[in-house]
Structure 1
Amino acid sequence: MAEPELSGDSLIRPEVRLRQYLYVGKEYPNYQPGNWFFHKYYEEGRVQSIKNIVESKNPLVAIDLIKKAFESKLVQNPETLIFALAVCARQTENERLRQAAYDTVKKICVTPQDFILFVKFASQIAKSAPEPKHGWGGGWRRAVNDWYLSKDPLDLAKCVTRYRGRYGWTHKDIVKLSHPKTDDIAKKAVLKYVLFGLKEAKKEFGDKPEAKEVIQYIEQVEEFKHCEDEILAGRLLELYNLTLDHIPGHLLKCKEVWNSLIPAMNITMLLKNLQRMHNYGVLEQAGAAVDKVVDEICNQEKLANEKIHPALVLITIKNYEKSGRPLSYEKQKARKTKIRSVIIPPKPTRKIVEALYKTLEYSFNSLEPTGLKYMITIDMNKAMQGSPAWRCGNLSSAEAGCLIALCLLRSEVNVTVAVFKKFSVHEVYLNKNASLGQIVKKMKQTPTGDVNLEKPMIWAAEKKKQFDVFINVVDVVDKRFGNEVRTDNPRKAIKEYRSKMGLKNAKLVTCAMATAQMVPHSDDNESILTICGFDENVPKIIEAFARSLF
């Protein structure tokens, strides 16, 4: 279904629409997992709100909103922040806003890949303008040079060696366009390396004491990247404290390299690369790498410091237990018709699976309370139990709903869990200390009935129960019964609940777990969030919405 266009005279203020874009990638409250680059979330037409803000009395509010969203640490796709910043930087209507955007680049674009992405977006916007521009102004050069030259020489060397390029751009491309100038000998040596390579950098700065440290570091990285010996490469990686991003293609399948890398990776990176390591044969049943992985992912101090969310751990478990991500449609078709064989990864290592379930339990301790009152109502019919969550094919829709419920139970004081029944809802009393498996088992035993998205609000109003956030977890939101479309009206129900209970900020979240289809939405309703599918970001998206951040 084609996505609706929001006009500039939308009833929602442009500041609100910009916040919505920053958190969910759209100027209305609807979140869908997936590849936002592929689905063209980063086109200037997606953020008409910035154009409206530019025309207002206080155009700098756009930068303030981007900064606040960044500081919230609840934006799950930071590319939206970078794109919105690039739009502000490349617009031509307000000079103050453009300069403020360039001044903010260093704050928002913390990592080299974020910085390169900003350059890509800025170039893309300039070339797609009605009057395309291929040059770069003084503001852009100043921002770029400040990003490079504000770093310590060794940090600069680490940036340019760790990420040579991303998104079709390299540091060499950017430096050639921006012409950074500095009196710092060590920084000059790094820039020389970027433009002309190690040989020329050593030729000009090899005898300069000030450049000794950075030249030595760059030599170490180059030695590692050109190493052909697997055992030596593993030793060099440990010796020089290098990262996954330094590993060249010809070393990516080397067991010794991964063995050395495991203790250097944070837990998030470990979880996201677990199946990759397993497929490379690194995680053999009795190998040393298995013990290293177990020690790392079960480190409760690291889990707390990184604030690993249970959703990421659970998705990792389900994918790992099924030996990787779900097969794509093409692969399924090929397997059924026997056109080609599909390589099946080795079976998961039991010790790692057991450790992952411990990690899941530990991760609940990192959840932070919002102090709000929640009611979550989950459809537990057979379709929910059997259908995979969209974009998360190894997790059932019911399991995803139960995970959201358990996260709330573990972190919040006031949470009511219910299921839909024939004429109302059925409240379910759950032990917050129970495991996810126990929660799912008990929820499956509860009575079920027809889904009506109004029921939780009507029930709460009748019982005079106060809730700040209602969450409905269902399979789809436009289900048909026979030839009739479901006639419930949750928008009307939440409005009436707010009025009856005197809770003007009460919100409704509808999670349609098994569908990618857009649902009709009202541009003037800021109190309803719709989520299609599930991924590790969904609980944090709900949290940000509950906290009224968008």
Structure 2
Amino acid sequence: MSTENIPQSEPLRNDQVQNNAGGFSWAVDDMQRLRRFLCLGCEGGTYYQGEKELGIENAKSILKLIENGRGVEVVETIKTYSIEGRTSKQNPIMFALALCAKSTDLPTKRAAYGSLSDICRIPTHLFMFIKYAHALGQNWGRAQRRAVSKWYTEQNPSKLAMAITKYQNREGYSHRDILRLSHPSTNDALLCFLFDYITHGLQKAIENLNKPKESTNGDHTTEDKTDKDQPQVQQQQQQGNLNDEDDETNNKKLVTIEQLKDFLETVEKAKTSTNEDELITAIRQHHLVREHMPTNMLNSKSIWSVLLEKMPLTAMIRNLGKMSEIDLLSENSDAEKRVVERLKNREQLQRARIHPFNILVALETYKQGKGFKGKLQWQVSKQVKDALEEAFYLSFKYVKPTNQRYLLGLDVSGSMSGGTINGSPSVTPAVGSCAMCMVTVRTEPYAKVS
């Protein structure tokens, strides 16, 4: 019988297996399933399989790889996908890492915690990892306390100061919660000051500066070191690894306690400020970001105009709707020109490592003229919309070709025109699959679509 006449409900060969749709296809091995999960996740499930069921299935595949002695390989795969920016969302990355960290396989556990600082580059990632780790096992073992403590104590103080004030709490955790659970200990006076600020507030941290302290187990404060003892922290001594992919400005180094105090005092004052000029000065002098601004001042065109001057590319794309709503991106305005120029800048796109799918989501959302959550509505700027589309195509150029031969088959059934993918309501499976197919066709020399 010709294979063209065999229905999908029957196998073509004996090595095919039945899938969730009832048809037959070739089995996906556990490592392939891991890679697929890291890229696609399970948010919202699929047309044929629920989110919870899909999540359990992927977790079982990861556990099976660990049981078969491939746990370290799993961690390396997670690390590679995270660092190279191959995924559009971090949730699958953090869940898979937490699963490895909570494993009873010692090499896997060591590899997972050893990679924590490389994979969790900003507090959002760290809090997400801790949330998943808590769900998998509520006890904080020695390995987890040590790894999380190390995440804090190995940071450059200036970058850590920016991070703890920009990302104050996520996923139900605050930095104060994490410090109390991990008990970091350090001899660095700048870090001790920051830890005091996190746990006791700025005023208490300033009062504690000149009080001698004795090192105790689980106490982040140690012997007294003021500016006279440690006026500067050399960059080579405190390189840190908080490489926020959103932070193109590489915020100004704060190398003394006095400078840290000045920065934190500015942040605290900004929280309740209603003075535009005061906030604009703080933004320019201390590189404050949107998260530092009081909510009641986020409708100010002047504030957003200054924020835009140094705003990281990912944050800029995320806030296009808001900036359009307050009419900052009006036709032929300086702000509109700045946004368009940056969206078309190849070097900035490459440095920001923005996934093509995220640009597609931003484009589809922006051209709707309204958000899918909340009441935000805006007048669409044609120049910005066209620049987003160009940025989408430019982002393909940073995908390295494998030079392998590909035959891509696209599902054109009715199920592809409904629902969402990756939790993104602006993109249907049909649009998403075509976009990702385009990535392969534009980067691979030997690709055919049918």
Say yes or no: does 1:368 pair with 2:400.
yes
Q: Is the 8 A contact 1:388 1:395 kept in 2?
A: no
Q: What does residue 245 of structure 1 align with? A: 291
CA contact (8 A) 2:321 2:376 kept: no
Does the CA contact (< 8 Å) of 2:403 and 2:445 recur in 1? yes
Q: Which of the numbers 268, 275, 294 marks the counterpart of 2:321? A: 275
In structure 2, how many angstroms separate the alpha carbons of the residues matched to 1:309 and 1:221?
Answer: 31
CA distance in 1, matches of 2:287, 2:54: 35
Contact 1:283 1:289 in 2 (8 A): yes
The amino acid of 1:111's aligned partner reads I
Match of 1:232 among 269, 278, 281: 278
Q: Call closer, same or farther: CA 1:298–1:351 in 2, change over 3 Å.
A: same
Tell me the distance in 2 between the aligned counterparts of 1:158 and 1:198. 15
CA distance in 1, matches of 2:32, 2:71: 14
Name the counterpart of 2:125.
Answer: 114
Q: CA RMSD in A?
A: 3.9
In 2: Cα distance, 1:249 partner to 1:178 partner: 32
Q: Is contact 2:45-2:51 (8 Å) kept?
A: no
Q: Name the TM-score, length of structure 1 as normaliser.
A: 0.60
Name the structure 2 match of 1:73.
85
TM-score, structure 2 as length reference: 0.71
CA gap of 1:294–1:212, structure 2 versus 1, over 3 A, is: same
* Residues 150, 400 of structure 1: alpha-carbon distance in 2 compared, 3 angstrom cutoff: closer
Q: 1:57 to 1:294 in 2, by over 3 A?
A: closer
2:354–2:395 contact (8 Å) kept in structure 1? yes
Asked if the contact 1:388–1:394 (Cα under 8 Å) also holds between the matched residues in 2, the reply is: no
Change (3 A) 1:369 1:31: farther
What's the CA shift string for 1:42-68, capped at 9, x where partnerless?
966741234334433555443333334
The 1:58–1:313 alpha-carbon spacing in structure 2 relative to 1, beyond 3 Å, is closer
Which one-letter code corresponds to 1:165 in the other structure?
N
Residues paired across the two proteins, number: 381
Match of 1:101 in 2: 112
Map of 2:237 onto structure 1: none
Q: Is the 8 A contact 2:145 2:182 kept in 1?
A: yes
For residues 280-319 of structure 1, the aligned pairs below 5 Å read 280-285=326-331, 287-306=333-352, 308=354, 311-319=357-365
Contact 2:45 2:54 in 1 (8 A): no
Compute the displacement of 1:269 (Å).
2.5
Specify which of 149, 156, 167 is matched with residue 163 of structure 1. 167
Instruction: Assess if the C-alpha contact under 8 Å between 1:225 and 1:248 holds in 2.
Output: yes
3-state SS, counterpart of residue 180 of structure 1: coil
More deviation, 402-411/216-225: 402-411
Provide the rounded CA distance (Å) in 1 between the counterparts of 2:128 and 2:429.
Answer: 34
Three-state SS of the structure 1 residue aligned to 2:160 is helix
**Aligned mate of 1:262, from 264, 287, 308:** 308
SS in 1 for 2:100: helix
1:219, CA displacement in angstroms?
1.7
Structure 1 position 170, deviation (Å): 0.4
Q: Give the match for residue 443 of structure 2.
A: 411
SS of residue paired to 2:79 = helix
One-letter amino acid of the structure 2 residue matched with residue 170 of structure 1: S
> How many Å separate the matches in 2 of 1:42 and 1:182?
42
Q: How does 1:119-158 map to 2 (within 5 A)?
A: 119-126=130-137, 133=138, 135-158=139-162
Does residue 62 of structure 2 align to residue 62 of structure 1? no
For the pair 1:51 / 2:63, whether they are aligned, the reply is: yes
Contact 2:322–2:378 (CA<8 Å) still a contact in 1? no
Structure 1 residue ranges without an equivalent (≥5):
5-10, 127-132, 332-342, 417-470, 473-550
Task: Give the Cα separation in 2 of the matches to 1:388 and 1:12.
Answer: 25
Q: Which amino acid aligns with 2:114?
A: D
| Structure with the larger RCO, 1 or 2 (CA within 8 Å, 6+ apart) | 1
TM-aligned CA deviation for residue 306 of structure 1 = 3.3
Structure 1 CA distance for aligned equivalents of residues 111 and 411 of structure 2: 48
Q: Aligned in 2, Cα 1:314/1:21: closer, same or farther, shift over 3 Å? A: closer
**The residue matched to 2:115 in structure 1 has which SS?**
helix
Distance 1:287 1:251 in 2: 21
Q: What is aligned with 2:38? A: 22
- Mapped contact 2:370–2:376 kept (Cα < 8 A): no
The alignment-based identity, stated in percent, is 25
Q: Which consecutive residues of structure 2, in runs of 5 or more, have no partner in the other structure?
A: 1-18, 21-26, 211-224, 231-256
Write the distance in 1 (CA, Å) between the matches of 2:128 and 2:179: 15
Match for 1:106: what amino acid? S
**Deviations for 1:239-296, whole angstroms, at most 9, x for unmatched residues?**
2112233333233222222111113223333222211222233323354422332232
Question: Matches of 2:108 and 2:383 in 1, distance apart?
Answer: 54
Distance in structure 1 (CA, Å) of the matches to 2:75 and 2:407: 35
Relative to structure 1, is the Cα distance of residues 306 and 368 closer, same or farther in structure 2, using a 3 angstrom cutoff?
farther
In the alignment, which of 80, 84, 90 is matched to residue 102 of structure 2? 90
From 251, 260, 264, the equivalent of 1:218 is 264
Larger strand percent: 1
Taking a change above 3 Å as real, the CA distance of residues 101 and 276 of structure 1, as seen in their structure-2 partners, is same
- Deviations along 1:102-132, one digit per CA (max 9) or x if unpaired, are 2221222111111111111111211xxxxxx
Aligned positions of 1:514-525 closer than 5 A: none
String of CA shifts for 1:69-104, please: whole Å, max 9, x gaps: 33553233332222122122223x334433332222
Q: Give 1:20 deviation, angstroms.
A: 3.7
- Greater mean alpha carbon deviation, residues 402-411 or residues 162-171: 402-411
Instruction: Give the distance between the partners of 2:327 and 2:443, measured in 1 at CA.
Output: 38
Give yes or no for contact 2:78–2:93 (8 Å, CA) kept in 1.
Answer: yes
